[in-house]
Amino acid sequence: MLTITLLLTTLGTGILYLSRNRDIFSPLPWCAVHYSILFGFRSLYCLFASGSFIGGSQSDPQTMASWILALLLAHLGWLTFLIGYTGRLASLVARWPPPLPRRWSASRAKLVSSLAFAVGLIALVVFISRASGGLGQALSTSRHKLLTSTGTAYLTELSMLVWYGFLASYVANRGLTALTATYGVVTVLGLGVFLGSKALTFTPVLSAIIARHYLAARVSFRRLIWFFAVVTIAIIPFNAFRHSVEPQQVVGLTASTLARPGSAIEAVLRRFYGIECLTIIVRETGTTLGYQLGATWSPVLFSWIPRSLWDSKPTVSFARVFGETYLGEWFAGTGTAVAPTLLGDGYVNFHIAGVVLVSYAAGVIVSTLYRYLVARGGVSGTYVYAAMSQYLLGGFWEGDVAGLLTRSVFRLALVVAISLLARTAGGASVQQGRKVAKRKG
C-alpha cells in the first residue's frame, strides 16, 4: 500500500505540474519519474518479480520493518522536495545573480566549441591510457575497470569537454552540421560506448534535444517517448557489452536477454537499487556504521586536491564507502560505487532530519537553476541547462552530497566558462529562435 501511494503521489504531482507548466523538460516531472523508479517501481519489482533483495531476505522481519520505514522516508523526502521546489526561496535566489549572456557570437562559439572538444579528446585519450595501463591495452581492458579507476577524477571531468564541445557546436550552428555530427559520434562512441557508461552514451544526445527544444522548436512528447523506447532497447546489448570484450559473447548475451518476455523493462529496473539501498541504510546505521553527523559531507572541503599530490587522500564520495561497508559482501575491493541515494546520505548523517534537509535543499537548488537558466539565461542559459541535465532532471537522487557537489560544481564552472567565452561581441550572433514563455518553476 505504501508503494502504491508513493507512486500515485510522485507521478500524480509530476503529471499535474506538467499539465500546468507544459514544458516537458522542466525538472519536476523528470524528478518525479526518477524518484518513482528508485523507490516505487523498484519496490514492486523486488516484491513480485526479482524474488530477492540485495543485502538480505525479504522475509527477514528486521529487513521488512526497515523497508516500511524506508518507504515512509521516501514519502517524507518527496513532500519536502516539493516544498523546496515550489517555495518562494528558489524564486528569490534565481533573481539575485546577473543573467548569463543571452546571445553568442557565432564565430566565437564555433571556435570555443572546437577548442573544448579538442581539450576533452586529449583528456579522454590520457584517461584511457592511464586507466588501462597503456593505449595498447585499452581494447582488452574491461569497461568496469575503466569506469572504476581511481586517481583520475580531473581527467574524467576534463574528458567531458568532448560532450560540452559537441553541445556548444550544436547550439552555435543551430543544429547538426557535418562537423557537429562528427563531434556527436565521437562523444557517443568515445565517451559513452567505449567507456561502457550508459549515462554518457545517451545523455549527450538528450542534451542536444533539450537545446533544440528551447532554442528552435518544441520537442513533442511523442518524439520523446520514441527516444526512450530506443534507449530502453539499446540498454540490453549495452549491458552485455559492458561485461564482455568479445563480440560473439555480446551477441549471445543480447539474444538470450531478448528471448525472455519483459526483458527490456527488467534490464532497466535492474539498474536501480534505490529502495534497497535506503532500506539497508535504515537497517544498518547505528551498527555497521554509526551516524556520521556531517562526516560524509566534509570531503567537499578537500575534494579539489588531486590524489597525485595527496596519496592518503580520503575517499570523497560516500557511494564508495557505502559499497565497502554496508554491502562489503558483494562490493568490497571491487572499486564499485553503489548509489546510496540522496535520502540515504541524509539519513546516515542526521537520521530523519537529514532526509528532510537534503530533500528540501535539492528542491530549492533544482528549482533555482531552472528558473535562472531557462527563464533568464537565453542561449547561454539553455546551453548550461542542457549540459547540467544529467543532474537537474533527477540524476541527483542516486548520488551522495559530497560526490554530487564535487562533480556538478566543476561541470557548472566549465560550461559557464564556455558560455562566457562564446558571448557576442558584435557581428553575427546566435540567439533563441522562438520566445520562451516565462515559467514559474
Spell out the SS3 assignment of the chain: CHHHHHHHHHHHHHHHHHHHHCCCCCHHHHHHHHHHHHHHHHHHHHHHHHCCCCCCCCCCHHHHHHHHHHHHHHHHHHHHHHHHHHCHHHHHHHHCCCCCCCCEEHHHHHHHHHHHHHHHHHHHHHHHHHHHCCHHHCCCCCHHHHHCCCCCHHHHHHHCHHHHHHHHHHHHCCCCCHHHHHHHHHHHHHHHHCCCCHHHHHHHHHHHHHHHHHHCCCCCHHHHHHHHHHHHHHHHHHHHHHCCCCHHHHHHHHHHHHCCCCHHHHHHHCCCCHHHHHHHHHHHECCCECCCCCCCCHHHHCCCCCCCCCCCCCCCCHHHHHHHHCCHHHHCCCCCCCCCCHHHHHHHHHHHHHHHHHHHHHHHHHHHHHHHHHHHCHHHHHHHHHHCHHHHCCHHHHCCHHHHHHHHHHHHHHHHHHHHHCECCCCCEECCCCCCCCCCC
Q: What mean pLDDT comes out for the span 238-262?
A: 63
Q: What mean pLDDT comes out for the span 180-184?
A: 91
Q: For residue range 315-359, what is the model confidence (pLDDT) as tens digits?
A: 667 777 777 777 766 665 555 567 788 999 999 999 999 999 999
Asked if the model's pLDDT at residue 106 lies above 50, the reply is yes
**How much is the pTM?**
0.86
Q: What is the mean pLDDT of residues 49-72?
A: 72
